Chain A
Amino acid sequence: MFDRRRFISLLALVSLPALLAALLPTAMAVTAEDAEANVEMWNKVRASMFANRQISEQAENVITLEAPPRAEDASTVPISIHTKLAQTADRYVQKIYLVIDNNPSPLGAVFTFTPDSGRADLETRVRIEEYTHIRAIAELSDGSLYMAKRFVRGSYGCSAPGGKESIEAQARLGKMKLRITDPITLDQPVQAQLMISHPNNSGLVMDQMSRLYEPSNFVRKIEVTYAGKPVMTAEVDFTISQNPNFRFYFLPRGEGELKAEVVDSRELKFESSLAIRATAATLQPPHQHQ
């Protein structure tokens, strides 16, 4: 039998959210993720960094961001940024800003690229403090801004802050590995990897045994050049995980030296380089100099 009252209440139940959604501006439409996210923090960061400049979120032809929806380990969340532009001199990705809304330091990194980067792609690992949006904002050489974002749920890793690993990283402070895994072809972007032994302490983590805060000590700047020209510069902080690790590209136009210079928050400087020489058909990285 048709139950009129039930029908009306059902109708109300179905139509109420639709009605609300219609009344609210679309920018305020609330998704489950936004409800958990700290949109206010993003608004602040956005205002201080980009003022009123437009940021396009229709960005899939410019930049995409990959991050796990649920982190295996909140202290080491792998992220990868892919860009779709050829880094030609007339239009290229100049900067990528990495913003993690709910972290104590939301602006975690600013990466600078050039046409000599070949491709403004980047992979690294970040710490997340709680459930959060991670945003990668590309600034093109024409000044336009494009944003890709991902929502990541992380659990406080049960790993020890200030544990054995941190002591080991401190003991090997500044030791680096710079390497290229694939064969090199001239004038084709080549991926390189930089690993830096460093505890990258935030100064915000309390040792649960001593009840003391570990002093902050982190890599703050990385400059990578090829044949003397900058290919990737990163201004970073403790958002980047312990033993900072980056994969990025450069464009070899001939023989040269790939060189990484690192400065930490205590102004210690570390350096690593890789000589790349021509053989018959390709260029080859023979071995690493430290």
Chain B
Amino acid sequence: MLPISRRIERALLALLALLFAWATAGGNATATESLDSLRPVVVAPGIFVFPGSPGAPSPGNGGIVSNIGVIIGSSGVVMVGTGTSDAHGERLLQAVAKLTDLPVVLAINTYAGPEHVLGNTAFARHGIPILAHRDTDDYMARNCENCIRNLQSAIGEAPLAGSRLERSNELIDATTSMRIAGRQLEILHFGATQQPGSIAVFDSRSGVLFAGGMAAFDVTPDAHDADLPAWKAALLEMRRMPLRWVVPGRGPVGEPVRLDEVIAYLGGLGDATERAYRSGVDLAEAPRAAGLPQFSKWAMYAAVHPRNVHFQYLKLETQELAR
């Protein structure tokens, strides 16, 4: 029998997990509203997450749909993601200042999503360098005007006041090890996966992996720019790493085994789309024909899965034209 303290600890952990699951459950309006994107969730000593809402960007959630990571070392703070807007970036910095007196020394854009990079302006104003893979920076430069327009139509113009694209200013081209803020971080690039420049951040001391756009738990991942086989291979490689916790880009913090759910979804998406394509189903019908009911409980399934199928189908066509 476990000692009392261990049992209490386990019960508390279970309760916390339940609370988090409840707070981030998709499709539950009251739960979504009660989720405080500026109340940090503790992942490990010195590691926190400001949780994003699991639903679609809306006026209710202010478009704050991406988890923002905080890594506090002995001499400073590294942030994973900068938020949805200039104002959100500023609020995140204020919230971090309540956690520690140490300065934020680096922000990392792990992928090019407006909910993850539009806070860059706030960080730049405070002189904080912003790191990204070169392909993410390029992608942002090409797309962010459209992304801002899209986000405006989803959440309104007011929350995005003063928001514009601030480019990253520390570019990497491949996996990079860095000693920063008194911690050892591995910035992992697995090639073009979810997006060409998607990266993950691994803190070896705590075993926490910030998987960025490459993982989403209980939320349908956005695969519209994805190379599915490469993405799956990256997730399998993550599974072989000594991970303790995975912080996905969206959804609750989970154990590494939960990456298998993402792997299963990507496999299902690829297979179902290819089956529809080979059987002569047209582009309009493909999203229906390639439904994956086993994942339909995930948040955003109805909006994101058909879109994922659409883009994978076009990819198959392009491949056929290239042959």
Query: Which A residues have a C-beta under 8 Å from some C-beta of B?
Result: 66, 68, 72-73, 76, 78-80, 123, 125, 155-163, 165, 168-169, 172, 175, 177, 181-182, 195, 197, 207-209, 243, 245, 247
Complex CA–CA separation, A177 to B318 (angstroms): 11
A160 with B142: CB separation less than 8 A: yes
16 A-B contacts, Cβ less than 8 Å apart? A68-B284, A72-B287, A72-B311, A76-B283, A78-B283, A155-B153, A156-B146, A156-B149, A158-B150, A160-B139, A160-B143, A177-B321, A208-B141, A208-B142, A209-B138, A245-B283
Q: A123-B282, A156-B146 are in contact. List 4 more A-B contacts (CB 8 A).
A: A125-B283, A163-B142, A195-B321, A209-B141
Q: Is B321 a contact of A172 with CB atoms below 8 Å?
A: yes
Interface string of B209-239 (1 = CB under 8 A from A): 0000000000000001100000000000000
On chain A, the residues within 8 Å of B306 by CB distance are 72
Question: Nearest A residue to B283 by beta-carbon distance?
Answer: A78
Known contacts: A158-B146, A208-B141, A209-B141. The answer to whether A181 contacts B282 by CB under 8 A is no
Q: Determine whether the beta carbon of B310 is less than 8 Å from that of A76.
A: yes
Q: Which residues of B contact A78 (CB under 8 A)?
A: 282-284
Which A residues lie within 8 Å of B283 (CB)? 76, 78, 125, 245
**Across-interface contacts of A156 in B (CB, < 8 A):** 146, 149-150
The residue among A72, A78, A165 with the most chain B CB atoms within 10 A of its own CB is A72
Instruction: Determine the residue in chain A with the shortest Cβ distance to B141.
Output: A209
When distances are taken between beta carbons in the complex, the residues of chain A under 8 Å from B318 are 165, 168-169, 243
B172 shortest CB reach to chain A, Å: 19
Question: Cβ of B311 and Cβ of A73 under 8 Å apart?
Answer: yes
Residue of B nearest to A245 (CB): B317
In the complex with contacts A73-B310, A76-B314, A159-B143 CB distance below 8 A: yes
Chain B residues contacting A157 (CB-CB under 8 Å) are 146
Kindly state the separation between the CA atoms of A87 and B284 in the bound complex, as whole angstroms: 25
Please tell me if the beta carbons of A209 and B282 are within 8 angstroms of each other in the complex: no
Q: Provide the main secondary structure of the chain A interface.
A: loop
Convert B257-289 into 0s and 1s, putting 1 for each residue whose CB lies closer than 8 angstroms to a CB of A.
000000000000000000000001011100100
CB B210 to nearest CB in A, in angstroms, measures 22
Which residues of chain B have C-beta atoms less than 8 A from A155's C-beta?
150, 153
Cα distance A90–B179 when bound, in Å? Answer: 81
Which of B139, B307, B318, B320 has most A Cβ within 10 Å? B318
Decide: A66 and B284 in contact? CB cutoff 8 A: yes
A72:B150 contact, CB within 8 angstroms: no
Collect the chain B residues with CB atoms within 8 Å of residue A247's CB. Answer: 282
Q: Which residues of B contact A207 (CB under 8 A)?
A: 142
Contacting pair B317 A209 (CB below 8 A)? no
A158 to B143, CA, bound (A): 6
- Verify if B255 is at the interface (C-beta below 8 Å from A): no
Closest 6 interchain pairs by CB?
A: A78-B284, A72-B310, A78-B283, A181-B280, A160-B142, A72-B307
Chain B residues contacting A158 (CB-CB under 8 Å) are 143, 146-147, 150, 224
Q: Does B33 contact A (CB under 8 A)?
A: no
In the complex, chain B residues whose CB is within 8 Å of the CB of A125: 283
Query: Which residue of chain A lies nearest to B278 when distances are taken between CB atoms in the complex?
Result: A181
Shortest CB-to-CB span from B238 to chain A, Å, is 25
Inter-chain contact A243/B317, CB cutoff 8 Å: yes
Measured in the bound complex, the distance between the Cα atoms of B142 and A209 in whole Å is 6
In the assembled complex, B41 has its CB within 8 A of some CB on chain A: no
**Residues of the A chain whose Cβ atoms lie less than 8 Å from the Cβ of B139:** 160
CA gap between A177 and B151 in the complex, in Å: 37
> Contact: A123 with B284, CB < 8 Å?
yes
In the bound complex, residues from chain A placing their C-beta under 8 Å from that of B321 are 172, 175, 177, 195, 197, 243
B309 (CB) vs chain A CBs: closest residue = A72
Whether B320 and A177, one on each chain, are in contact in the complex, defined by CB atoms closer than 8 angstroms, is: yes
Shortest C-beta distance, A240 to chain B (Å), equals 13
The complex places the Cα of A177 from the Cα of B317 at a distance, in Å, of 10
Query: In the complex, A66→B283 CA distance in Å?
Result: 12
* B222 closest partner in A (C-beta): A158
Answer whether residue B2 sits at the interface, using C-beta atoms and an 8 A cutoff: no
In the complex, residue of chain A having the shortest beta-carbon distance to the beta carbon of B323: A177
Tell me if B322 and A172 are in contact (CB < 8 A): yes
Question: Do the beta carbons of B310 and A80 come within 8 Å of each other?
Answer: no
B255 to chain A, nearest CB (A): 31
The distance in angstroms between the C-alpha atoms of A108 and B143, with both chains bound, is 26
Residues of B within 8 A of A159 (CB): 143, 224-225
Contacts of A68 in B (CB 8 A): 284
> CA A76 – CA B286 in complex, angstroms?
14
Within 8 Å of chain A (Cβ to Cβ): is B145? Answer: yes
Contacting pair B317 A80 (CB below 8 A): no
B306: min CB distance to chain A, Å: 6
User: Does B144 sit within 8 A of A, measured CB to CB?
Assistant: yes
Q: Which residues of B contact A73 (CB under 8 A)?
A: 224, 307, 310-311
Nearest CB of chain B from residue A289's CB, rounded to whole Å: 16
Chain A positions within 8 Å of B153 at CB level: 155
Q: How far is the CA of A78 from the CA of B311 in the complex (A)?
A: 12
- Chain A residue nearest to B225 in the complex (CB): A159
The chain A residue sitting closest to B311, CB to CB, is A73
Q: Which residue of chain B lies nearest to A171 when distances are taken between CB atoms in the complex?
A: B322
CB distance from A249 to the nearest CB of B (A): 14
A162:B320 contact, CB within 8 angstroms? no
Q: Nearest residue in A to B165 (C-beta to C-beta)? A: A208
A80 — which chain B residues lie within 8 A by C-beta? 282, 284
Interface residues of B in 290-323 (CB under 8 A from A): 306-307, 310-311, 314, 317-318, 320-322
Provide the bound-state CA to CA distance between A174 and B197, in Å: 30
Bitwise, B135-177 to A at CB < 8 A (1) or not (0) is 0001101111111011001000000000000000000000000
